[in-house]
Amino acid sequence: MSSQFFLKTNKDIELFQGYPEFNECNHTSKESQVISSVVSPCGRFLALSTKESLQVFSGINFENLLLEKDCNDIYDIKFSPSGNFLNTWERPSASDPEHKNVKIWFLNQEIKDAKILEPIYQYKYKSQSNWSLQYSKLDNFAMKLFPKDLRIVKLSLTNPIFDFSKPFATLNLDQDPTDQNRKFTTYLVSPSEHPTICTFMPEKSGKPAQLTIWPILEGKINKKIATKSFFKADSCQLKWNSQGNAILCLAITDFDSQNKSYYGENTLYLLSFQGVNGTLGGNSVRVPLANGPVHDFTWSPTSRQFGVIAGYMPATVAFFDMRGNIVHSLDNQSKNTMLFSPSGNYILIGGFGNLQGAVEILDRHNKFKSIAKFNATNTSVCMWSPGGEFIMTATTSPRLRVDNAVKVWHVSGNLVFVKEFKELLKVDWRSPIKVKTYNNSHVAKEMAPLEQDGENLNLDPKLNKSQLKVHASVAEFAAAHPQQAANHAHSTGGKGATNKPAGAYKPPHARRAGAAGGGVPGMTRTVPGMARAVPGAAPANNNANGKTSRRRKNKTSTDGPTNPPSASSGSNSSGSNSEASPEEKKMRSLLKKLRSIETLKQRKANGDKLEDTQVLKISTEDKILADLKALGWNESDA
């Protein structure tokens, strides 16, 4: 039995049991729109908000209503790392300027009446970005950024008090008298049991940006564990490793001084330390990367390595050690996403967004060997299951408003479950509950993790390809969408060369080579040219002199192929012209649309960013193929 996952639509929350049943175990439907929903990192709670209320559920299948409050316009919800505190952000009130729109709810207690619980702390914060408090891994510290300092309070799990007027520790922003006009714009607490804090101060007035790691010590914090100064940094992204002894900082400028990128310049820095709170010293380096943007960077769960995808497409995929040295690199490829499995055994690299959705699985313990490939086109969400044996991909709104669906794949590249939606807004896995609770209630005794094996924690079963059970929904999806099912073809072993199915995509230059007797072995054409004879029409490949009209046949433009030559433009063997029937005209029109879609798909495969209307046009390919087949056309005629 593998982990549960939940799906959110406009008014419904659906909870599914994972492999192999994939059966729905809870369905919550609301009369009004579900604005926000989130499962706690600890797996104990599901919180959701509508226009009028806030609700929190607990239980094996989230069947217990724990909290229900009348709250208007809650647009964002966040849990603390251990799930004890729920943070909500409401739209600021226009009529009440003193309205405290951020509320903190304490959930790790017995709640007899779902309607009586009140927030234990609240404050005013207008912006919806960076509004939430930050918490340490065990929820024993909470941090809030004030105009002049960063304040830290220490919390108990029985009677927490958020008294920032009497903080446990304070990190002042005016450490240097010459920098009094500069402020920390970003900070991030580490995920270790002995937490530290990393702060970022951007470049300003000719002074370099500063990245610093601080310990959490009672009183005023002055000690610096590690620090790095650098230029070209207007903002940053921070990512700690799971052990909390190293952090990656992606420094970003608003503009590219060389005018090569619309998104500015990227530089990656690594800060690390040894010993608790840096007692054995710290280190800082700049990570050597290929020229161009950084598409993704992520830590291995082992905390000893990290991977980066960087450079202009096709991008460089490389893996580094804790000193910033390259330990392995792959051939350049069109990828922009990297995800380590929770165990660190596997690495997923994919090309999503404006790329074609190709996914490859690497075996970290076998010299990064490729073990599977599959296509997940139009993917907007991709994540490993908590057990690390399955991958969820989804097409969600508003990123894409057509073909909304969730798909679950096995690590071998096999599609094992599909569910389609008219509109799918959010998907997520539910982590197994790993803390001790009182009498199977939601109240945790302590934050120390359970000492149980994977089976008791409901993690994924370890399966090979021959043992895999495919859900009936996959066959139903393939029957309803044969073109998409063909695109999901995968391969395993060897160098991972994808086994192309009949009707797979073939680029224009390969199509021309194939027409001349060459071509690529194992590849056939999906989109036909006009070499095919339209029923009842004269051949269009001969001109009046009997010579091939190469200019007309191969003529293209930047907007796609030109109109096909009409039947009357050529001469048949008897020199007579034939007039096209309405069916033939409709077929030519559909073929023209199909070739236009082919051009758009090629642009997308090359990394071009398409407009929403062009993406929608690609999604009509199945209907056009169906209309063509209804007129008597088939792919073998291409």
3-state secondary structure 147-179: CCEEEEEECCCCCCCCCCCCCCEEEECCCCHHH
What residues pair up with 628 in beta bridges, in sequence order?
none
User: Please, which pLDDT band fits residue 458 given cuts at 50, 70 and 90?
Assistant: low
User: Please, which pLDDT band fits residue 232 given cuts at 50, 70 and 90?
Assistant: confident
User: Please, which pLDDT band fits residue 95 given cuts at 50, 70 and 90?
Assistant: confident
pLDDT at 588 over 60: yes
Q: Any idea of the CA torsion for 418, 419, 422, 428, to the nearest 10 degrees?
A: -100
Average of per-residue pLDDT across 438-460? 64
Give the per-residue pLDDT at 298.
95
Angle, alpha carbons 245-248-250 (nearest 5°): 165
Give the per-residue pLDDT at 277.
72
Give the per-residue pLDDT at 455.
42
Average of per-residue pLDDT across 251-257? 77
Helices (H) then strands (E): counts for the chain: 7, 42
57 vs 456: which has the higher pLDDT: 57
pLDDT at 519 over 70: no
Distance CA 264, CA 85 (A): 37
User: Please, which pLDDT band fits residue 510 given cuts at 50, 70 and 90?
Assistant: very low
pLDDT at 595 over 80: yes
Give the per-residue pLDDT at 46.
93
The predicted-structure confidence for 121-175, as pLDDT tens digits, reads as follows 999 998 888 899 999 999 999 999 988 889 999 998 888 999 999 999 998 866 5
204 vs 48: which has the higher pLDDT: 48
Counting beta carbons within 10 angstroms of the beta carbon of residue 176, is it exposed (0 to 12), middle (13 to 18) or buried (19 or more)? exposed
Amino acid at 201: M
Predicted structure pTM score = 0.73
As a three-state string, the secondary structure of 162-223 is: CCCCCCCEEEECCCCHHHCCCCCCEEEECCCCCCEEEEEECCECCECEEEEEEECCCEECCC
Other CB atoms within 10 Å distance of the CB of residue 161: 11
Amino acid at 309: I
User: Please, which pLDDT band fits residue 622 given cuts at 50, 70 and 90?
Assistant: confident
